[in-house]
Each structure stands twice: as C-alpha cells, then as structure tokens.
C-alpha cells in the first residue's frame, strides 16, 4: 500500500537572494503534487522605490538580484527613457550591451556549475566556477565591480570603456572561449548526460506558451522568443547573433540552450568592442515628466519587465518589477509531477531559479518521521547518475 | 490544453495601429479610450467587466504573450494594467481597467484564459486587496502568515512604519 509523504523544501539560505519554499507530495518515488511559496525575503522594493527619487530607484533595483544586477537597472532606465521619450547616445548603447552579455556569461556559467553538482558531476562544478572568473575580471575592468556594477543611469551609462583596456578584455574573453569550447565538448558529447537528462522534466511548447514562460526555459521548449531580438534595445539590432532554440523541452535542451547562448554572447561582446563608435556616453536628461513607461530586458533567465508611472514629481507613483523567475516558477509544477524524487532537484535547477530553494531541501515522511535534508536529495540525484554510469559500463 | 487558435494573422512588418484597430473592430464601444504612447507602446482603456473577453482575444486569438499585470493605487480608484507583448513586432499593448470602489474591489480572474496570471492575481490580492472572482487559489504569496487582515502595503494609505533607532 502506498502512502503520501510530504517533502518541504526551503525556505531560507543566507547566501542567496530569493528564498522559496516547496512542498513536494510524493507517493513512493514519484512526485504527485507540488506547492510553492515565496516571499520569505520580500523586501518591498516596489514600495521603497516609490519613496526614492528616480535616480535612486536605479540603485535600489540593482539590489534585487546579485546575478542580474545589470538587467534590472537597464530595464528601469529603459522604462524611464520610454516614459520621457529620451534618446541614448550610441556609445552608451554598446556599453549596455557589453555589460548585459557579460552578465549572461557569468550567470550561465554559474548555473552550469551548480547543475553539474546536482547530478554528481563535481568536475563540471569546479570548472564552471573557475571559468567564470575571467568574466568577473572583465566585468571589474569594464564597470569597476565584479558584482553590483552601478553602470546605468537614465539617458546613458556612468562609466566609459577605456581604449587601453580593450586588449586585456579580448585576451580574457579568448581565454574564456577556449575553456567554454572544451566544456561544451565535454558536456554535450557525454553519453551519461544524454541518458540522465534527456526526457526529464519536459515542458511542452503549449504549456510554455500558456504559462508565458521566458528565456531559456521557453526557448528549450521551441518557443522562439528573445527580447533582445523581438523588442530590440541597447545595440542588439546592430550586431549579428542568433537566437538559440531547442524543441524537446527537457533538462538537456535547457542545458544546450544555455551553453550555445554563451558562445553567442561572447560573439556579441567582440563585435561591440570592435564596432563601438566614439562619442558621449550620457545625454544628461533633466526632468522626468508625468506619464508611464515600460522597460524590457532579456536577463539571463528571461524577460525582465519594469513599469514606471510618474506624476511629475521626483519619485515614481508606481514602480512594478517583474523578474523572469516569477513566470518560470509555475512551470515547475507542470514539469515535476510524475517524475521521481531523484530528478526533482535537477528539474527545478533547470529553470535556473536563484538556488536557495534547492539548497534547503528537506524530506519529512509523515509516517516514519524520517528526515531527509538537501544533501540527501542531491545524493539521491548523484546516485542515479552513478547507477546509470555503472549500467552503461562507464567508470 | 487546447492548441492556440490564431484569428488574426500577424506579420512582423505590421504597424501598432493595425493591432489597435483589430481590437477596436472586435470590441467597438467596449474600448473606452486608446492612447498610443509611441511606436512601440499603446494603452487601451476598458471596463473591468470586459477583461476576460479582451484577454481571450489578445492572448488566445491574437497570440500575444502575457507579460504581467500591475495594479496602481491612483486618485480615481484602483487601476489594473494587463501588459501583453507582441514578440513578432516588438509592441506592448497594455489594457487598463479602473475599479472605482476602493473598499470592495472585484474583478473577474483571467486564469481561465491563461495560467500565467495565477501568481500575479495572488500577489495583487495580497498587496492591493483586489478580489479576483473565479480564481480558486488566492492564497497569500509574499507576505508573512501573520500579516494583519485588511492592510494592503502597496496602497497609498499604507505608511511604512518608521524605525526609531533610539529604541533599537
């Protein structure tokens, strides 16, 4: 006879910025239901923004996420530029594109490392985080900071890229590309990973459209959307690059999308550095008139959406912020039901939420009072890979 | 799930005016006001009771993506803006509806049309106190479980309590 066990996951992890709580209901090995609860670290940034000046809001939204600290400020300044009808100097648009793509590179690399860890590929974890370093170094050269770049301002950017820094940036980028090539081969040609990740946590195209899924989560399911191409901003319509899509919608497809996107990002940065025109980086706007504006940015996880209403004063009347994970999370319910507990970790990781959630998994069996922590769940996931390897005769 | 039916064939060289016209032709006097902010953005004002019909047309028939809804506490009442993005042309159409009654605001849920509105309806109910009729799961999403009833933090009359450093 089977009985249901409840697996609460979450909510806190002090290292990450988005604690969530999941309750998985399992029957034997299979997940039959899931409930998600967020808000444990709700800082009321929308409310805070209403009490700050427009210039301060940009720095407040930068604190929303440590990874997307370029996407939120760009979305915010674009909303203000849309509201006021401001022009942005060409050079500033290129610099925005460069910071955006650097952010995508380091975010995807971070994801790759963690995803590797969850399925027992700790070498991928070590590689991924090591190879992310050149990107953080470039970010420091371009913006002055490894994280929280403080680069954006309404009508332009705050810091120019110096000519003498470009050779260094290109050298480090080449170093990254070589390592990415190696990593790409190692991951995409690995028969165990094919066996382990294909067909796991499938999000169908129809479901992706219905949930309005975004970014790599949608693109892996064959939904061909990318804000950078569809709602062009910064300098994305001035450089050549491709939108990566896959059709299967499983964890493997999401991995492929992210790895191939990194190659595109590196290409975009090279083109921008090459083609960037000289000139001012800021149009120095004075006032924000009454009105409303929308800013959209393709963050590493998908579209980041800001809506700002101004009543003519110095601070927003309303500042709505929608991060991509907000739309991608509900798809977890669609993808995890019917799968086994050992796959729950990697399916959740595949939508690339902020990781706190997966770090704090806890199993409580209602009958036996048995407790199982996150380490146990990751161990289950790693064991499944090991079994698969043994079955395939790979050491 | 039923497959998406596209009544309006969109093309990537379509002008935003054609999208607006298609909405006006379909709904006639139910469209109260159309405001074109620029070549990429347009706002369409409607009555709250028509929201499901509009969403059905814009999301299912026209095939636009649901960005998000955002409520605004304004002098006239509680406003809800439903933002829809057209990924083919790069337009964003925002459907605006104003709930005059701030004490007991009600609107129909659009989760019957798209599941993507599930979380945002929970959030708006919690932060603005707007009820979404027909949404069966409107549990709290962001605020703590012991948050006082009837206190809506994103309303303008909610004042963030000042922290007194001397008492700390």
- B4 to chain A, any CB pair closer than 8 A? The answer is yes
CA distance A238 to A234: 9
From chain A, the residues in CB contact with B141 under 8 A are 37-39
pLDDT on residue B64? 93
pLDDT on residue A63? 85
Q: pLDDT by residue (tens digit) across A331-342?
A: 888 898 888 888
Give the residue from chain A lying closest to B92, CA to CA.
A294
Task: Report, in this order, helix, strand and coil percent for chain B, each rounded to 5.
Answer: 25, 30, 45
Q: Which of B94, B156, B133 is nearest to A307 (CA)?
A: B94
- A172 to chain B, any CB pair closer than 8 A? The answer is no
Q: pLDDT by residue (tens digit) across B96-150?
A: 999 999 999 999 999 999 999 998 999 999 999 999 999 888 888 888 888 888 8
Chains A–B, number of C-beta pairs less than 8 Å apart: 96
CA distance A352 to A158: 30
Q: Starting at the earlier edge strand, list the strands of the sheet with A20-27.
A: A30-38, A20-27, A4-9, A362-364, A371-373
DSSP annotation string for B120-146: HHHHHHHHH--EEET-S----SSS-TT
From chain A, the residues in CB contact with B40 under 8 A are 82, 231
Q: pLDDT by residue (tens digit) across A27-39?
A: 888 888 887 777 7
pLDDT on residue B1? 40
From chain B, the residues in CB contact with A39 under 8 A are 140-144
- B94 to chain A, any CB pair closer than 8 A? The answer is yes
- Under the banding of pLDDT at 50, 70 and 90, the label for residue B152 is very high
Is residue A371 pLDDT above 80, yes or no?
A: no
pLDDT on residue A377? 73
Q: Do A230 and B90 touch (CB under 8 A)?
A: yes
Give the residue from chain A lying closest to B93, CA to CA.
A294
Q: Starting at the earlier edge strand, list the strands of the sheet with B65-74.
A: B31-36, B41-46, B91-99, B77-86, B65-74
**B135 phi, psi to nearest 5 deg:** -85, 115
CA distance A58 to A60: 6
pLDDT on residue A379? 79
Is residue A369 pLDDT above 50, yes or no?
A: no
pLDDT on residue A333? 84
Which of residues A23 and A167 earns the better pLDDT score? A167
> What tokens were used for B7?
């009544």
- Enumerate residues 6+ apart whose C-beta is below 8 A from A8: A21, A22, A23, A362, A364
Out of A42, A232, A322, the one facing B68 most closely (by C-beta) is A322
> What angle, 0 to 180 degrees and rounded to 10, lies between the N-to-C axes of helices A341-350 and A374-391?
100
Is residue A367 pLDDT above 60, yes or no?
A: no
Is residue A12 pLDDT above 60, yes or no?
A: no
Mean pLDDT score of chain A, rounded to an integer? 86
Is residue A359 pLDDT above 50, yes or no?
A: no
Q: pLDDT by residue (tens digit) across B47-102?
A: 999 999 999 999 999 999 999 999 999 888 999 999 999 999 899 999 999 999 99
Continuous H helices in chain A:
45-50, 54-62, 71-84, 90-118, 122-131, 133-143, 166-188, 191-197, 205-210, 215-219, 227-230, 251-275, 324-328, 331-336, 341-350, 356-359, 374-391
Q: Contact at 8 Å (CB) between A150 and A59?
A: yes
Rounded to two decimals, the ipTM of the complex is 0.91
Instruction: Using the Cα atoms of residue A76, residue A292, residue B93 and residue A327 in order, give the sign of their dihedral.
Output: positive
pLDDT on residue A364? 40
pLDDT on residue A102? 95
- B36 to chain A, any CB pair closer than 8 A? The answer is no
pTM score, two decimals? 0.89
Q: pLDDT by residue (tens digit) across A197-236?
A: 999 999 999 999 999 999 999 999 999 999 999 999 999 9
Q: What is the DSSP letter of A163?
A: G
A132-136, A181-185, A244-248, B13-17, range with the lowest pLDDT: B13-17
Which residue in B16, B70, B91 has the most chain A C-beta atoms within 10 A of its own C-beta, making it the best mutation to test that interface? B70
pLDDT on residue A8? 66
- Determine the 3-state secondary structure of A201 from DSSP: coil
> What tokens were used for A282?
């800021």
Which residue in A234, A318, A334 has the most chain B C-beta atoms within 10 A of its own C-beta, making it the best mutation to test that interface? A318
- A312 to chain B, any CB pair closer than 8 A? The answer is no
Is residue A2 pLDDT above 60, yes or no?
A: no
């Amino acid at each position: 006879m089977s009985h249901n066990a409840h697996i609460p996951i979450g909510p806190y992890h002090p290292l990450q910025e988005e604690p969530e709580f999941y309750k998985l209901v399992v029957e034997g090995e299979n997940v039959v239901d899931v409930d998600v609860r967020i808000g444990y670290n709700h800082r009321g940034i929308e409310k805070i923004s209403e009490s700050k000046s427009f210039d301060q809001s940009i720095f407040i939204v930068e604190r929303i996420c440590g990874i997307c600290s370029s996407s939120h400020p760009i979305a915010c300044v674009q909303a203000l530029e849309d509201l006021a009808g401001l022009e942005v100097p060409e050079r500033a648009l290129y610099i925005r594109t460069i910071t955006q793509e650097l952010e995508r590179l380091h975010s995807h690399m971070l994801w790759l490392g963690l995803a590797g860890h969850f399925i027992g590929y700790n070498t991928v974890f070590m590689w991924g985080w090591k190879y992310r370093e050149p990107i953080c170094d470039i970010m420091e050269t371009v913006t002055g900071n490894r994280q929280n770049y403080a680069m954006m301002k309404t009508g332009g950017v705050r810091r120019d890229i110096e000519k003498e820094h470009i050779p260094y940036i290109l050298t480090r980028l080449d170093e990254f590309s070589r390592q990415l090539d190696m990593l790409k081969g190692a991951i995409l040609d690995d028969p165990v990973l094919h066996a382990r990740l294909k067909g796991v946590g499938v999000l169908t195209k129809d479901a992706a459209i219905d949930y309005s899924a975004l970014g790599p989560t949608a693109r892996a399911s064959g939904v061909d959307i990318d804000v950078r191409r569809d709602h062009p901003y910064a300098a994305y319509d001035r450089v050549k690059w491709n939108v990566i899509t896959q059709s299967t919608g499983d964890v493997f497809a999401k991995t492929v999308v992210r790895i191939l996107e990194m190659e595109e990002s590196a290409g975009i940065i090279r083109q921008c550095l090459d083609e960037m025109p000289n000139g001012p980086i800021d149009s120095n706007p004075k006032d924000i008139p009454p009105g409303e504006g929308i800013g959209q940015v393709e963050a590493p996880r998908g579209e980041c959406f800001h809506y700002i209403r101004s009543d003519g004063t110095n601070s927003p009347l309303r500042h709505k912020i929608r991060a991509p994970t907000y739309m991608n999370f509900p798809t977890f319910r669609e993808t995890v039901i019917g799968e086994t507990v050992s796959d729950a970790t990697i399916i959740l990781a595949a939508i690339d939420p902020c990781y706190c959630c997966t770090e704090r998994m806890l199993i409580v069996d209602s009958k036996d009072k048995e407790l199982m922590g996150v380490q146990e769940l990751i161990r289950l996931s790693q064991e499944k890979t090991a079994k698969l390897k043994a079955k395939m005769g790979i050491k | 799930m039923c497959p998406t039916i596209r009544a309006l064939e969109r093309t990537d060289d379509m002008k935003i005016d054609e999208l607006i016209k298609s909405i006006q032709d379909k709904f006639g006097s139910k469209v109260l006001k159309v405001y074109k902010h620029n070549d990429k953005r347009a706002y369409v004002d409607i009555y709250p009771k028509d929201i499901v019909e509009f969403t059905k047309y814009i999301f299912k028939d026209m095939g636009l993506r649901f960005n998000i809804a955002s409520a605004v506490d304004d002098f006239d009442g509680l406003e809800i803006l439903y933002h829809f993005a057209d990924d083919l042309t790069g337009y964003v159409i925002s459907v605006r509806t104003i709930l005059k009654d701030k004490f007991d605001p009600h609107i129909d849920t659009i989760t019957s049309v798209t599941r993507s509105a599930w979380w945002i309806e929970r959030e708006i109910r919690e932060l603005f106190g707007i009820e979404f009729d027909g949404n069966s799961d409107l549990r709290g999403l962001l605020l703590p479980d012991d948050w006082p009833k009837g206190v809506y933090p994103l309303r303008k009359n909610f004042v963030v309590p000042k922290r007194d450093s001397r008492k700390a």
